[in-house]
Amino acid sequence: MKPLKRHLEDSIKSHFNSYKEILILLGARQVGKTTLLKRIFPNAYYFLVDNEPVKKNLESYDIFTYKQFIPKNTVIVIDEIHQLSDPGRAAKIIYDQIPNVKLIITGSSSLNIKNKTTESLAGRKIDYNLYPLTFVEYLYQNEIINTLNLNFFNDIASVNPLKKTVYSFDLQKILNQVLTYGLYPHVINYPGDEKYLRNLTDSVIFKDIADLQLIEDRNAALNILKLLAHQIGNLVNLTEISKRLQKDVRTIQKYIQIFEKSYLIFTLSPFSKNKRDEIGKTQKIYFYDLGIRNALINNFTDINLRPDRGQLFENFIITECLKANQYLNAGYALHFWRTKHQAEVDLVLQKQEQLIGIEIKYSNGRVSKAFSNRYPEALTKLITSLNFLSQ
C-alpha cells in the first residue's frame, strides 16, 4: 500500500516555502493530521500536548522556559494545542519571540482554540482544514488508481455533460462500502470495522466535545445528533427537534454550531434571489463522514437493502464537492435550492455570476425544469453513481 498522500500536501509545502505565518491544521480526531505532517516534515520537532511535561512547560507562558526546550531555526509542530489553557498565547510567544521558527499547530475543533485564546493571532496565521479521505484518496491509497487529482470537481464545473465511464475495477462495490463505512483513514486497513466507528463517535461526542465545556447535557447532544443523522438531505425543522427532545430552540441551535465546529456536521443554506416562493432561511445538514453517521443510527446494513441509499449518496457527493472546493481553493459557495411548491435542486455551486445546479441521484433522475426556467444562465448537471468519478 502506498504512503498516505493527501490532496493538502502540496498546498502546505507551498505555504511553507512562501510564508512565515503560523499554519493551523484543523480537523476531526483521526482524520490523519499528524500523519500528514510527519510525511511532509519528518525532521520537525513534535510536541504532544497529551504529554504532561510538555503541557506544563507550554502552560508556563514564559519565554525563558520556552527557549530552553524549543529549538531555534527549525519547524515546530504542537499537536492538539487546544488542550492548553490558552493556546493562542502559547503560539504568539513562539511566533513573536523565538527566532526563525516555523510553527504548525493542530486541533480537533476550531471552537477549542478560539474559546480558550486570549491573544489574537490575526495576521499571524493561515488555516487549513483536513477532512476524512476523499473518494479519490481512498482509491489511490488502495492502489486502485495511480494519480491523485480532483478532476471530477473540475468536470462538474465545466460546460460538458458528465458521462458514464467503464472502469477496470468494481466502482459500485467500492462506492457501496464507502457509503456504509465512510472515509476515515483507518477504514483502508480495516474495512468494515463497525466497532472502531462506534468508539470514534463516542470519543468525539463524549471527550472532544465534552472538553469544550459548552454542552451541559451529553445525552441531549447525542439525541440531537441521532435525529440529525436521520434527516440528512431534508430541511431541518428546529422547532420539531425542540419539541421531541423537550429542549428550547436556542439550545438546539447552540449544539448544532458546536457539532459544526467539531467537524461532525456541516450546513447548507438555501440559494435564493429573494423570489417570493423560494425557501430563504431553512438549512440542510450533512455529515462529514457517513461511517460516523451510520454508527450514530446503528445501521451498517448493505446499501442495496437500505431505504436511505439516496440520502447517503447525496451526502457523499455534497461532501466530496465541499472537500474538493476547499482543497482546490476553487471559491464556490455551496447551497441548495427549493421552492415552497417542492421544486428542488440538491446542490447549487455559486461563484460570482456563475451558477451550477446539480441533481444527485443514486440511479436515474433529472434536474428540475423549474430551476432551469428560473435561472436560464445556470449550468445544470445530473450526478449518479455511474458518472460521478472522472476517468
pLDDT band at 124 (very low <50, low <70, confident <90, very high): confident
Write down the pLDDT at residue 206. 74
Decide: 284 and 271 in contact? Cβ < 8 Å: no
Q: Which of the residue ranges 10-14, 43-47, 123-127, 151-155 would you say has the lowest mean pLDDT?
A: 123-127
- SS3 state at 355: strand
Write down the pLDDT at residue 113. 67
Residue 45's contacts (CB-CB under 8 Å, 6 or more residues apart) are: 70, 71, 74, 75, 76, 77
Q: Which of the residue ranges 153-157, 265-269, 284-288 would you say has the lowest mean pLDDT?
A: 153-157
Write down the pLDDT at residue 114. 62
Rounded mean pLDDT, 324-350 = 95
pLDDT band at 187 (very low <50, low <70, confident <90, very high): confident
pLDDT band at 41 (very low <50, low <70, confident <90, very high): very high
Q: What does the alpha-carbon distance between residue 163 and residue 391 come to, in Å, rounded to a whole number?
A: 10
For residue 302, pLDDT over 70 is answered with yes
For residue 157, pLDDT over 90 is answered with no
pLDDT band at 391 (very low <50, low <70, confident <90, very high): low
Residue-wise pLDDT tens digits, 250-282: 999 999 998 998 899 999 999 998 778 888 889
Taking alpha carbons only, the member of 67, 150, 82, 77 closest to residue 116 is 82
Q: In degrees, to the nearest 5, what angle opens at C-alpha 255 toward C-alphas 250 and 256?
A: 95
Write down the pLDDT at residue 275. 76
For residue 1, pLDDT over 60 is answered with no
Helix residue spans in 148-275 (DSSP H): 151-157, 171-181, 186-189, 194-203, 209-211, 218-229, 238-245, 249-261
Mean pLDDT of the chain: 90
Write down the pLDDT at residue 166. 80
| 156 phi/psi in degrees, rounded to 5 | -60, -40
Query: Is the domain defined by 8-129 classed in CATH 3.40.50.300?
Result: yes
Q: What does the alpha-carbon distance between residue 200 and residue 183 come to, in Å, rounded to a whole number?
A: 13
Q: Which of the pair, 391 or 255, is modelled with greater confidence? A: 255
Write down the pLDDT at residue 278. 87
Q: Is the dihedral of CA 333, 238, 203, 82 positive or negative?
A: positive
Residue-wise pLDDT tens digits, 72-123: 889 999 998 888 888 889 999 999 999 889 999 998 876 666 666 666 777 8
Q: What is the pTM of this model?
A: 0.94
Domain ranges of the chain: 8-129, 135-383
pLDDT band at 236 (very low <50, low <70, confident <90, very high): very high
Q: Which of the residue ranges 109-113, 140-144, 309-313 would you say has the lowest mean pLDDT?
A: 109-113
For residue 71, pLDDT over 80 is answered with yes
